[in-house]
């Protein structure tokens, strides 16, 4: 445990600060960051690959309950000629044994949503730099527990919201910071992705292969779909709210004060089962009643007076869109029509193609690392996510998206469920920072380092 | 009064029905529909021009309080070599004298918003076929008063929502009715129009000429802007909600049950005054505090389980957009990216250009009257509006958008104000039909007649 203690020994005093800790890592230039991955499904395998591409990381251990996924992970390790990680595959609690036995610096958690917070808390308690994959929360209390564990720990919670690193999202962040849009007034975002072929499969291959889920499903269909059966709310808010939170400094001078959600009827998942060649009206799953409205829309307001419309739309045939719109007193960007309008530059009342602006204001981080990002997941942005995670872990620095952000963004899920249950009532967002948002400072992507 | 009585003598029995009255008009082929226009500002002048293009209409009287607008109207009459209408210009109550003295068949009301309902009620009381320009309501009670006046009258209230006749809107209606989108789940719409150059002018020319409003303003700036000073809500909901109401048969088998609204901070109008070359920080209007949030978003839900997002965005620099989106179990249309996706036709997860679909499903009404619509306002749709109004009035038929629709759509304004005042509370939409929506039938644009 010595090395880890060394890495973190001054992190305690910096926990409430945003100042970087300098020179804490590596203790030797040849020493690598020792990382474990808990959950090596499709997402965890992506992270494994990105970690093993780097010369400053070692994947010391992996943990999963599924033999097939463990075997796929071993193939990735082999491909990289990397040291074999210790395997933890003795059931759903085996991650505790990993955290107890392995002297690791950092962990990445990429398990089904229900395991996210318990695993992150266990990891924080071991003072391990903790990377947590995104999801909505199961409850508000869970969000508070995560915050308390982070506060009690000298580890750090890095909430792995990759879309914050998307190239256009970061170019627009650059534009926002250069006042191109003036004072921000309104934003839209969300998760609009036809997941019917993800929520159901044939139990063997992950995508578009059948109408099974739960025990008969494979990969995400084995656990993700149950949320659509039982819950009606924005189940996956962070790819939308994460990026726009950077535009208006949520939890760093600003905060979300309240929201209201509305859900449509639910038709898409049932229809998919009935209409599928492997399904039909007599298929057992045709009897399942899905709670999740096909379209869930949430409006959020901030302490600074901005409004945000957040979309959730995963059960209907539609092209993928995260629906970004950023609108201020001087201009507006919309992703769906790939257009921009800047007062005084664009012709009055006319759209312009956004791409020349996105090129001109390309974030320095993308300019610097563009080539290293080639081939990384989701258009390269996963490289930046893992790069940022690793560099922050190495430096023992506070992450740009911390436990307060994780709690705030994840809380949208149970809050939207409450709002919908109460006929779209207005629901307050807890201040998970307990006032610290008023003087916390922005740290995300201030330069080209990571 | 004889002729009017003749036209309407069986309209009483049809008032609660949707069946057309046949053969009531014209009593002679040579007799024209006698129309009066109350309010001959810019909008009323457009209607005047369209009426005078027709050989079945006579504009018998016009009413306005502004000499300049009366003179502009006289020019339009002169251009058409039409009979001079009787002028009513003796102050704001002179419309009552018009309704008392003139033996007219129909009236069009195109005055400032605050006058809409009182004037419509006065007209209905005279059993005149009443065309009412669109606006939000001043109060819920006003909406009820309009409904009661319509019920007590043997006249008809035609709510003049022109966007229902927009070519793409009608093509999509055609597609909806042919089940191209499957069961409708979610829609978006609204009014997103940078009106800063309309809300303020120099008091002489209507658009983009200064920073004056109210008594020092001209045209819309003389009355519309005061709503932005004093009210925070969706001030102009009907261009959005009218068209999408046709897609899900609002008040005809379906109804809006509740809504919630959220408003951003207000910056745009103040900034416009300060930054304008005729304004500045020392201009008296720079001290005005505008109540209207720059972006007001409303979510509405229907009895059939559809959701609607309604935008209001008139104070910021941006291109015009009514933000239409129509999404069902089989596909989605979005106006902003001019795209469509239809399951089984479009490539999976991919957009297609919407135009070939809009061409293929061009509504029969547009096909038939396309040439007559050339040159009419708002891309030709105003021709269809006036055509429909005149033909319905001639036939004494119930209008496709009646007092119940007017009340429902206009009520969104005070309801959104209430919701915003209560921190985005959920607010119930009154059932202005008092149950009649359950068996009322659709009449709008069922064929190519009008």
CATH of the domain at B285: 3.30.360.10
Nearest CA in chain A to B353: A337
Q: What is the pLDDT of residues B139-148, one digit of tens each?
A: 999 999 999 9
Nearest CA in chain B to A257: B423
What is the per-residue pLDDT for B155? 79
- Cross-chain Cβ contact B316/A295 below 8 Å: no
Would B397 be classed as within a structural domain?
no
- Of A206-220, A365-379, A432-446, B241-255, the range with the lowest mean pLDDT is A365-379
Q: Looking at the partner chain, which of A262, A334, A336 has a beta carbon nearest the beta carbon of B299? A: A262
- Cis before B26 (ω within 30): yes
- Find, among A335, A350, A9, A25, the residue nearest to A187 by Cα: A335
B294 has a chain A CB within 8 A of its CB = yes
> Are A184 and A235 part of one and the same domain?
yes
Residue A9 has pLDDT above 60, yes or no: no
A329 has a chain B CB within 8 A of its CB = yes
Q: Determine the average pLDDT of the residues in B268-272.
A: 98
Q: What is the pLDDT of residues A57-75, one digit of tens each?
A: 999 999 999 999 999 999 9
Q: How confident is the model at residue A28 (pLDDT cuts 50, 70, 90)?
A: low
Q: What is the pLDDT of residues A174-213, one digit of tens each?
A: 999 999 999 999 999 999 999 999 999 999 999 999 999 9
A/B interface, count of CB pairs below 8 Å: 155
Q: Looking at the partner chain, which of A258, A306, A318 has a beta carbon nearest the beta carbon of B327? A: A318
> Are A140 and A156 part of one and the same domain?
yes
Number of domains in chain A: 2
- Cross-chain Cβ contact B329/A422 below 8 Å: no
> Are B85 and B98 part of one and the same domain?
yes
Q: Which candidate in A182, A184, A329, A428 is best for mutational testing of the B interface (most B CBs within 10 A)?
A: A329
Q: How confident is the model at residue B392 (pLDDT cuts 50, 70, 90)?
A: very high
B179 has a chain A CB within 8 A of its CB = no
Percent of chain B with pLDDT over 70: 93
Last residue of a domain, one of B122, B138, B163: B163
Q: What share of chain A is helix, strand, coil (3-state, %, to 5)?
A: 40, 20, 40
> Are B147 and B192 part of one and the same domain?
no
Structure-model confidence comparison of residues A190 and B20, the more confident one:
A190
> Are B300 and B414 part of one and the same domain?
yes
Average predicted confidence (pLDDT) for chain B: 93
> Are A177 and A153 part of one and the same domain?
no
Please tell me the distance from the alpha carbon of residue B119 to that of residue B115, in angstroms, as a whole number: 6
Tokens of A223: 């656990």
Q: What is the pLDDT of residues A76-122, one digit of tens each?
A: 999 999 999 999 999 999 999 999 999 999 999 999 999 999 999 99
Output b/e per residue, B140-177; b: 16+ Cβ within 10 A: bebbebbbebbeebbbbbbbbbbbbbbbbbbbbbbbbe
Structure-model confidence comparison of residues B413 and A15, the more confident one:
B413
Q: Which candidate in B262, B342, B354, B429 is best for mutational testing of the A interface (most A CBs within 10 A)?
A: B262
Q: What is the pLDDT of residues B239-263, one digit of tens each?
A: 999 999 999 999 999 999 999 999 9
> Are B49 and B80 part of one and the same domain?
yes
Residue B25 has pLDDT above 80, yes or no: no
Please tell me the distance from the alpha carbon of residue B141 to that of residue B143, in angstroms, as a whole number: 5
What is the per-residue pLDDT for A17? 38
Q: Looking at the partner chain, which of A297, A313, A426 has a beta carbon nearest the beta carbon of B423? A: A426
- Which positions ≥6 away from A118 have C-beta within 8 Å? none
Instruction: Give the DSSP letter of residue A33.
Output: E
Instruction: Give the DSSP letter of residue A212.
Output: B
- Cis before B201 (ω within 30): no
Instruction: Give the DSSP letter of residue B434.
Output: T
What is the per-residue pLDDT for B57? 97
Q: Which candidate in B180, B209, B316 is best for mutational testing of the A interface (most A CBs within 10 A)?
A: B316
> Are B266 and B150 part of one and the same domain?
no
Phi, psi of A213 (to 5 degrees): -155, 175
H-state helical runs in B312-402? 355-360, 364-373, 381-395
A233 has a chain B CB within 8 A of its CB = no
Residue B289 has pLDDT above 60, yes or no: yes
Please tell me the distance from the alpha carbon of residue A380 to that of residue A101, in angstroms, as a whole number: 34
Radius of gyration from C-alpha coordinates of chain A: 22
Got the DSSP string for A391-436? HHHHHTPPPSS-HHHHHHHHHHHHHHHHHHHTTS--EEPP-TTTTG
Percent of chain A with pLDDT over 90: 92
- Cross-chain Cβ contact B336/A337 below 8 Å: yes
Residue A387 has pLDDT above 50, yes or no: yes
- Which positions ≥6 away from B404 have C-beta within 8 Å? B147, B251, B432, B433, B436, B437
Would B55 be classed as within a structural domain?
yes
Residue A3 has pLDDT above 60, yes or no: no
Q: How confident is the model at residue B49 (pLDDT cuts 50, 70, 90)?
A: very high
CA A137 to chain B, closest CA, distance in angstroms equals: 23
What is the per-residue pLDDT for B383? 97
Q: How confident is the model at residue B377 (pLDDT cuts 50, 70, 90)?
A: confident
Q: Complex ipTM, two decimals?
A: 0.93
Instruction: Give the DSSP letter of residue A218.
Output: -
- Rounded to the nearest 10 degrees, the angle between the axes of helix A364-373 and helix A167-177 is 170
Q: Looking at the partner chain, which of A267, A341, A423 has a beta carbon nearest the beta carbon of B319? A: A341
Please tell me the distance from the alpha carbon of residue A335 to that of residue A239, in angstroms, as a whole number: 14
Q: Determine the average pLDDT of the residues in A342-346.
A: 98
Q: Determine the average pLDDT of the residues in B85-108.
A: 98
Please name the residues between 258 and 287 in chain B that touch chain A, using a CB distance below 8 Å: 258, 260, 262-265, 267-268, 271
Nearest CA in chain B to A185: B264
> Are A153 and A193 part of one and the same domain?
no
Asked whether B27 and B2 are in contact (CB, 8 A), the reply is no
- Which positions ≥6 away from B328 have C-beta within 8 Å? A316, B176, B181, B182, B183, B184, B185
Distances (CA, A) of A120 to A107, A129, A391, B134, B343: 9, 10, 19, 55, 40
What is the per-residue pLDDT for B440? 97
Instruction: Give the DSSP letter of residue B253.
Output: T
CA B330 to chain A, closest CA, distance in angstroms equals: 6
CA B285 to chain A, closest CA, distance in angstroms equals: 18
- Cross-chain Cβ contact A331/B317 below 8 Å: yes
Last residue of a domain, one of B112, B128, B163: B163
- Cross-chain Cβ contact B336/A338 below 8 Å: no
Instruction: Give the DSSP letter of residue B260.
Output: E
> Are B288 and B347 part of one and the same domain?
yes
Q: What is the pLDDT of residues A145-160, one digit of tens each?
A: 999 999 999 779 999 9
Would A28 be classed as within a structural domain?
yes
Region of B9 (left: φ > 0; alpha: ψ -120 to 50; beta: rest) is alpha
Q: Determine the average pLDDT of the residues in A421-435.
A: 98
Q: What CATH number is given to the structural domain containing B57?
A: 3.40.50.720
- Cross-chain Cβ contact B349/A307 below 8 Å: no
Instruction: Give the DSSP letter of residue B397.
Output: P
Got the DSSP string for A55-82? SSEEEEEEE-S-HHHHHHHHHHHHHTTP
B329 has a chain A CB within 8 A of its CB = yes
Got the DSSP string for A368-392? HHHHHHTT-TGGGHHHHHHHHHHHH
pTM of the predicted model, to two decimals? 0.94
Would A293 be classed as within a structural domain?
yes
- Cross-chain Cβ contact A295/B307 below 8 Å: yes
Q: Which residue carries 């789940």 as its tokens?
A: B185
What is the per-residue pLDDT for A8? 37
Q: How confident is the model at residue A24 (pLDDT cuts 50, 70, 90)?
A: very low
What is the per-residue pLDDT for B22? 32
Q: Looking at the partner chain, which of A268, A305, A327 has a beta carbon nearest the beta carbon of B316? A: A327
Would B243 be classed as within a structural domain?
yes
Residue B17 has pLDDT above 90, yes or no: no
End-to-end alpha-carbon separation of chain A, Å?
A: 27
Chain B neighbors of A425, CB-CB under 8 A: 425-426
> Are B307 and B325 part of one and the same domain?
yes
Region of A156 (left: φ > 0; alpha: ψ -120 to 50; beta: rest) is beta
Chain B neighbors of A343, CB-CB under 8 A: 317
CA A415 to chain B, closest CA, distance in angstroms equals: 14
What is the per-residue pLDDT for B362? 98
Half-sphere exposure of A187 (CA within 13 A, CB side): 30
- Cross-chain Cβ contact A329/B307 below 8 Å: no
Chain B neighbors of A329, CB-CB under 8 A: 267-268, 271, 294, 316-317
Domain extent at residue A35: 3-163
> Are B257 and B319 part of one and the same domain?
yes
Q: Which residue carries 């070939």 as its tokens?
A: B356
Asked whether B428 and B258 are in contact (CB, 8 A), the reply is yes
Chain B neighbors of A305, CB-CB under 8 A: 264-265
Last residue of a domain, one of B131, B163, B195: B163
Q: What is the pLDDT of residues A287-333, one digit of tens each?
A: 999 999 999 999 999 999 999 999 999 999 999 999 999 999 999 99
Q: How confident is the model at residue A12 (pLDDT cuts 50, 70, 90)?
A: very low
């Amino acid at each position: 445990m010595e090395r880890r203690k060394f890495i973190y020994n001054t992190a305690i005093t910096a926990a409430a600060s945003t100042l970087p800790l300098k020179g804490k890592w590596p203790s030797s230039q040849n020493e690598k960051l020792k990382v474990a991955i808990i959950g090596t499904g499709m997402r965890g395998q992506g992270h494994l690959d990105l970690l093993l591409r780097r010369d400053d990381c070692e994947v010391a251990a992996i943990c999963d309950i599924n033999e097939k996924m463990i075997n796929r992970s071993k193939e990735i390790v082999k491909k990289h000629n990397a040291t074999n990680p210790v395997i933890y595959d003795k059931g759903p609690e085996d991650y505790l044994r990993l955290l107890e036995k392995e002297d690791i610096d950092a962990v990445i958690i990429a398990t089904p949503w229900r395991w996210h917070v318990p695993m992150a808390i266990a990891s924080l308690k071991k003072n391990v730099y903790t990377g947590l994959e995104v999801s909505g929360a199961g409850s508000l209390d869970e969000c508070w527990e995560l915050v308390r564990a982070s506060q009690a720990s000298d580890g750090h919670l890095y909430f792995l919201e990759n879309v914050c690193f998307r190239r256009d999202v970061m170019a627009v962040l650059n534009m926002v910071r250069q006042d191109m849009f003036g004072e921000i007034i309104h934003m839209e975002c969300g998760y609009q992705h036809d997941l019917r072929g993800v929520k159901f499969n044939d139990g063997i291959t992950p995508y578009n292969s059948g109408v099974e889920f739960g025990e008969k499903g494979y990969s995400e269909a084995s656990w993700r779909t149950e949320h659509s059966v039982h819950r009606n709310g924005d189940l996956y808010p962070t790819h939308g709210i994460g990026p726009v939170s950077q535009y208006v400094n949520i939890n760093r001078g600003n905060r979300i004060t309240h929201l209201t959600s509305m859900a449509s009827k639910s038709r898409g998942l049932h229809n998919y089962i009935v209409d599928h060649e492997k399904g039909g009206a007599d298929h057992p799953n045709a009897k399942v009643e899905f709670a999740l409205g096909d379209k869930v829309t949430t409006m959020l307001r901030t302490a600074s007076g901005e409004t945000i419309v957040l979309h959730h739309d995963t059960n209907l045939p539609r092209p993928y869109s995260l629906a970004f719109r950023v609108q201020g007193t001087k201009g507006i960007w919309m992703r769906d029509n790939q257009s921009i309008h800047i007062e005084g530059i664009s012709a009055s009342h006319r759209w312009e193609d956004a791409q020349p602006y996105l090129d001109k204001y390309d974030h320095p981080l993308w300019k610097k690392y563009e080539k290293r990002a080639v081939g990384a997941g989701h258009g390269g942005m996963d490289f930046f996510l893992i790069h940022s995670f690793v560099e922050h872990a190495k430096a023992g620095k506070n992450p740009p998206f911390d436990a307060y952000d994780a709690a705030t963004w994840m809380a949208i899920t149970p809050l939207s469920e409450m709002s919908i249950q109460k006929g779209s009532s207005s629901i307050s967002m807890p201040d998970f920072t307990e006032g610290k948002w008023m003087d916390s400072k922005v740290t995300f992507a201030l330069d080209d380092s990571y």
